[in-house]
Amino acid sequence: MTLDDLVNYKEEKGVNGPQPKGKHIFGLVKVGECGQIVIPKKAREICKIAAGDSLLVLGDEAQGGLAIM
């Protein structure tokens, strides 16, 4: 299985997909000049994120990553 397979997976009736149920890969986003990103529409819908909501951003220097809660 490749990253491309996971990102481009299309859910079919009766098939949960290659990822564990309730876990999602929404793809890549680009950081704009002001440091902004756009949260993909499907992610906003699944997580019920709306304009004006507050999100917690966590960072891990050792892992080199961010988590948005």
Burial 38-63 (b: 16+ CB within 10 A, else e): eeeeebeeeeeeeeeeeeeeeeeeee
pLDDT at 14 over 60: no
The C-alpha angle 46, 33, 37, rounded to 5 degrees, equals 5
pTM: 0.65
1 vs 49, which has greater pLDDT? 49
Q: What is the pLDDT of residues 34-65, one digit of tens each?
A: 999 999 999 999 999 999 999 999 999 998 88
pLDDT at 31 over 90: yes
Looking at residues 18-39, what average pLDDT do you find? 86
Map out the domains of the chain with their CATH numbers: 31-68 (2.10.260)
